[in-house]
Amino acid sequence: MAVEGEAGVPAVSASGRRRTRLDLTAPALLGFPVVWLVAFFLVPIAIVAAYSFDIYSLFPGKHGFTLAAWRAFLHSSVYLGLFWKSVKMSLIVSAVVVALAYPVAYYLALSGTKRKYVLLLVLIAPFLTSYLLRVLAWKVILGNEGVLNSFLVWVGVRSRDHPISQLLYSRFAVMLVLTYVWVPFVALPIFVSLESLDRRLLEAACDLGASRWQAFRRVTLPLSLPGVMAGFLFVFIPTVGEFVTPSLVGGTSGYMYGNQISDLFSTGFPDWETGSVLALFLLAVVAVLTAAFARFLQVRQVTAH
């Protein structure tokens, strides 16, 4: 005897229809993104790979499969050195951004303020202006005749002839600007993970005699780690290949791996082969790191649950 549903239709056949609908909906929904991904992500990567092996080139001349550019890159202390410099800068920026964003997200999520969404909006308000403008604004702040140096002269800490000149066009300037740009981005995932925290766990911790610090360290922090890690990756992945900010405020010492890729493609004499090698290497390292972080995240989530 078939079990009847509310409308008198046998439940089995209804669920069967639902299954059929789902089966058709999923490909329909995923189809376009998959085609998009293949056409504008995988195919371009394949083309870049073809450039790196000199299988394909825009420029005339003899071309054929070769590992020469890869070999040169892997034996080049210059390019690898620049890569590690960029990784170090990016790691520092990511860590500082997370450290700055966490208290903000914590306050918004757990302070119980009624205006938390208004404050969140204020936090992301800089995104309403152009990225370029936000970066250029730092030139006005950090320059020799900028806001900061003018203030120091005004309070008598520095003389007009001896401003702090290493604020702009330096590695410090790049890291400072990147930190400023990425803090709101990181605050968001941390805010989401903290807001979804089950408050009863904190109450239970307090009931069991934990201090506020202990409750934070042993309950809140571990449970918000997925958000922290996601935020960390949000910063690390784009900044390690960053080239706009360094080209605007970095000067010689703030030159990063992303600038080198850009320059190999567009200045001097086009060297798309080496540029492609550098780009693919960056992609591979970021992919590996992302996979590692994703695995770590899953482990933490399982542990937390």
Partner 1 sequence: MEEGRDLLERRISREDLLKLAAATGAAGLVAGRTGLAGAARAELAKESGRLQVLDWAGYGNDGGQTMFAAYVKKYPKNKPQFTYMTNEADALAKLHAGLKPDLFRPYVGWTKYFATSGLVQPWDPKLISNFKHLNPFMVKAGQLNGKQYGIPEDWGFDQILYRSDKVKPKAKSWGLLFDERYKGKIAWFDDLEMLTIAGLYLGFKNPWNQSDAELKKSQNLLKSKKHLVRLIWSSETNLWEAFGSGELWIAYAWPNDWVQMKKKKLKVVYMHPKEKPIAWVGMLMLLKGTQRYHLAHAYADAWSSAKSAKWLEDNYGYGHANTLARPSSSDLMRVLQITNPRAVTLPNAYFDRDIPRRSLYAKMWEEVKAA
**Chain residues that interact with partner 1, rule: CB under 8 A:** 58-60, 76, 78-79, 81-82, 139, 143-146, 163, 165-166, 168-169, 251-252, 255, 259-260, 263-272, 274
Side chain identity, residue 264: L
Closest separation in Å from C-beta 217 to partner 1:
43
Q: CB of 194 within 8 A of CB of 110?
A: yes
Closest separation in Å from C-beta 147 to partner 1:
12
156 - beta bridge partners?
none
Choice between 86 and 193, CB closer to partner 1: 86
Closest separation in Å from C-beta 201 to partner 1:
50
Among 250, 28, 292, 46, which residue's Cα sits nearest to residue 260? 250
Taking the mean position of all CA atoms in its chain, how far away is CA 294?
A: 14
Side chain identity, residue 227: G
Choice between 111 and 266, CB closer to partner 1: 266
Q: CB of 205 within 8 A of CB of 219?
A: yes
Choice between 48 and 95, CB closer to partner 1: 48
Choice between 70 and 265, CB closer to partner 1: 265
Closest separation in Å from C-beta 139 to partner 1:
7
How does DSSP classify residue 247? I
CA 148 to CA 160: how far, in whole Å?
12
Choice between 15 and 266, CB closer to partner 1: 266
The per-residue b/e assignment along 233-247, b for 16 or more CB within 10 angstroms, e otherwise, is bbbbbbbbbbbebbb
Closest separation in Å from C-beta 279 to partner 1:
14
Choice between 195 and 263, CB closer to partner 1: 263
CA 298 to CA 250: how far, in whole Å?
37
| Structure token pair of residue 110 | 């757990």
Closest separation in Å from C-beta 158 to partner 1:
13
CA 276 to CA 147: how far, in whole Å?
40
